[in-house]
Structure 1
Amino acid sequence: MIQRKPHPLQKILENRIAIIDGAMGTTIRTYGMTEADIRGERFKDSKKDLLNNGDIFSLTQPEMIGDIHRRFLEAGADIIETNTFGATSIAQSEFFVDDPREHGGRKNPEFYQKIIDDKFLADLAWEINEQSARQCREWADRVGSATGRQRFVAGAVGPLTVSLSNSPDADDPGFRVVTFDQVKTAYTQQVRALIAGGSDLLLVETIFDSLNAKAALVAIREVFDEGGKELPIMISAAVGRGGETMISAQTVEAFWTAMEHAKPLSIGLNCSLGPDLMYPFLEELSTKSTAAVSAYPNAGLPNPLSPTGFDLGPEDMARFLGDFANGGLINIAGGCCGNTPEHIAAVAKALEGKAPRPLNDQKVEVAA
């Protein structure tokens, strides 16, 4: 019989707003890395450009990734995310496998079954996830010990580059490029490696397709059942200006209803919108959810003339997320695209002493 005990985050969520980190991709860009830097010696002969494959930096530039984790922790983050947003065999195939559409073919379940069965991609996905989790673990423990404040590692599970909900073929609405089981298998590989690397939590994030997220949650449940160990689950969706998930088009209330069965530690919104546009949808989610509520919006709208590529500076994000707290909407706060360690430091300072959204005696528990 599995015994359960309160999770250490429970006390934090009951007493204050927890801080999650900012944008890994945005912060990587401030280091001026080049194609040669990401390739290193290991990937020097890769046929495709890799610079947009930021997860690979965990293998080729681990010192930089560790420095980013350190900066977010020193900015006040309680939770730091692994650098694994695209660390599945399916997502990594975009950078290492020829696209059949360039030769008159198409991506379909047969193509993706070869991806799932590809040993190089499976091994690469495992290594990225495990190493990134270990890097996070090292810095979370180091800064936690130095400050006397426990920090947590969230294994980041991204949305993939394919959709289970929609067909890419307007003439064949029933067609799907990939199957549910293939997506679940890719996520299973990722989840096992994130746990092996020492993650405290699993964060299914930037959800634009709820069916993809369902596959991730099924994978997580199966990994928990086979290993006898459970971690808290955080869930976070990206919504459009109408408050709907980007591809599956679920409203915020419908999204919560679809995810409630997973008994997440938190559910929330991230990416896609700046904090001003996110407010009403976060407010709706806050009234529906029985879990903690998280928010880590983009730093406003994209702006190529801005140093971060987004409009809002640290003081702007601090003000807007302060409004979230004043409205009693959030338990966990941070930033997505455009948010650097300086943004997170400003947010942490602005939220210090502000009351978290009431949890209604909800208890966050995990298997002992």
Structure 2
Amino acid sequence: MSTASKHPLENILESRIAIIDGAMGTTIRTYGLKEVDIRGERFKDSKKDLLNNGDLFSLTQPKMIGDIHRRFLEAGADIIETNTFGATSISQSEFFVDDPREHGGRKDPEFYQKIIEDKFLGNLASEINEQSARQCREWADRVANETGRQRFVAGAIGPLTVSLSNSPDADDSGFRVVTFDQVKTAYAQQVRALIAGGSDLLLVETIFDSLNAKAALVAIREVFEQDGLTANNNELPVMISAAVGRGGETMISAQTVEAFWNAVEHAKPLSVGLNCSLGPDLMYPFLEELSEKANVAISAYPNAGLPNPLSPTGFDLEPEDMARYLGDFARGGLINIAGGCCGNTPEHIAAIATALEGQHPRKLSKFEVAA
């Protein structure tokens, strides 16, 4: 979603490859925190385990989250993501609401309407998003002032724990657990809080269900219009990034890379790209196809290879491996934004940033007529 005046990041993308940060979840695990650490005093009486609810650390362990942002920035990241991958009322309900399936019921639109209307979940989601954005903003500005290089905060908008494209009921292919409007409402709440916290960009990422992403993009557009950001020329640029399988398809909606781009092109994003899912070696041909089709900047931040429980990070590839592969992307003229997803620590990002220094970004000038 473009703005009338050029965003400062656009100027960077035309002159060099921008670096986005690595995996918050992977890096959090290196701090060795336990259940008691994420609960703190505030959530000490929660009935469900919370340790896998990494977004909650922004509230209970803000110093650690700030330290992670600092490390990624000092590693060379131009863009750092808010710790909000699952910070919607829908995703947070997994940690705070009893699953009706455990009592003979099922999750359905009636169940999720109650989730959308739940004040505790709504307020919690808004607080996580706003506070995480403020934490990012503080460190982005601090490091920018120290280094004289502008840094950007990307409000991270994840894919949700539900699907609009597929039915979980093999006997009822038309059934959906949630409605488009419910998903849109949850995303709109997240978007408003990310903007209030000071985000520079909105990043709809790790898209495995294109219809979920559509709901996020509609929510963003409606927030811009309803809150007067369009009239005041204060729209935030939007970045879009999909997760694909071995055949290059979005994992649930099963769109090819080209079909996915056709489905989101109308949003006029600042960038489109691929992240998570595949290691960088398997991602290359699909990134190449996207680079050929899309008329905007291209981003790539793949997992550090395939999962490996014996590895310290849980993934195979070391920093020097990721640096080599992302260097191949750059030499192929495929990318404008590069970084890492699952398994990528600040050390991985530092290696990638070093490898890409001086590398030419993918040319955008050839698309000026089409754009």
- TM tier relative to shorter chain: over 0.9
Q: CA deviation at 1:360?
A: 1.9
1:151 equivalenced with 2:151 (yes/no): yes
User: Residue 19 of structure 1 corresponds to which residue in structure 2?
Assistant: 19
Deviations 1:273-314 (A, max 9, x none): 000000000000000000100000000011111110000000
The CA RMSD measured in Å over matched residues stands at 1.0
CA, structure 1 residues 39+3, in 2 after alignment: closer, same or farther (shift >3 Å)? Answer: closer
Q: Which of 235, 239, 243 pairs up with 2:244?
A: 239
Q: Distance in 1 between matches of 2:29 and 2:22?
A: 13
Quote how far apart the aligned CAs of 1:228 are. 2.5
Q: Any stretches of 5+ residues in structure 2 without a counterpart? A: 230-234
Residue 106 (structure 1) aligns with: 106
Give 2:292's aligned residue.
Answer: 287
Return the TM-score normalized by structure 1: 0.97
Measure, in 1, the Cα distance between the counterparts of 2:253 and 2:11.
35
The one-letter code of the counterpart of 1:326 is: R
| 2:355 matches 1:350 | yes
CA distance in 1, matches of 2:226, 2:273: 28
SS for the counterpart of 1:141 is helix
Deviations 1:205-244 (CA, angstroms, capped at 9, x unpaired): 0000000000000000000111222000000000000000
State the SS of the aligned residue for 1:4.
coil
Give the aligned partner of residue 315 of structure 2: 310
The residue aligned with 1:43 is: 43
Unpaired segments ≥5 residues, structure 1: 364-368
Query: In structure 2, how many angstroms separate the alpha carbons of the residues matched to 1:57 and 1:281?
Result: 34
> Contact 2:17/2:359 (CA < 8 Å) preserved in 1?
yes
Q: CA separation in 2, counterparts of 1:92 and 1:58?
A: 14
Distance 1:199 1:337 in 2: 22
1: CA distance, partners of 2:215 / 2:112 = 15
Q: Which residue of 2 aligns with 1:185?
A: 185
Kindly provide the amino acid, as one letter, of the partner of residue 161 in structure 1: T
**Structure 1 residue ranges (4+ consecutive) displaced by more than 3 angstroms after TM superposition:** none
Paired AA for residue 325 in structure 2: F
Conservation of the 8 A alpha-carbon contact between 2:3 and 2:237: no
Q: How many percent of aligned residue pairs carry the same amino acid?
A: 86
TM-score by length of structure 2 reads 0.97
Find the aligned partners of 2:113 and 2:365 in 1 and give their Cα distance.
Answer: 45
Which whole-Å CA distance do the structure 2 matches of 1:185 and 1:321 have between them?
A: 37
Distance 1:63 1:362, change over 3 A: farther
How far did 1:11 drift? Answer: 1.2
Question: Separation in 1 of the partners of 2:307 and 2:180?
Answer: 33
How far is the alpha carbon of 1:332 from its aligned partner? 0.1
Aligned to 1:216: 216
Aligned to 1:335: 340
Amino acid aligned to 1:295: A
The residue aligned with 1:366 is: none
Q: Does 1:134 align with 2:134?
A: yes
* Cα offset, 1:335, TM superposition: 0.1
| Aligned-partner SS, 1:107 | coil
Helix, strand or coil: the match of 2:343?
coil
Q: Secondary structure at the match of 1:58?
A: helix
Aligned residue identity for 1:152: F
Please state whether the residue corresponding to 1:5 is helix, strand or coil: coil
Q: Note if 1:298 corresponds to 2:300.
A: no
TM-superposition CA deviations, 1:153-173 (whole Å, max 9, x none): 000000000000000000000
Distance 1:4 1:241 in 2: 38
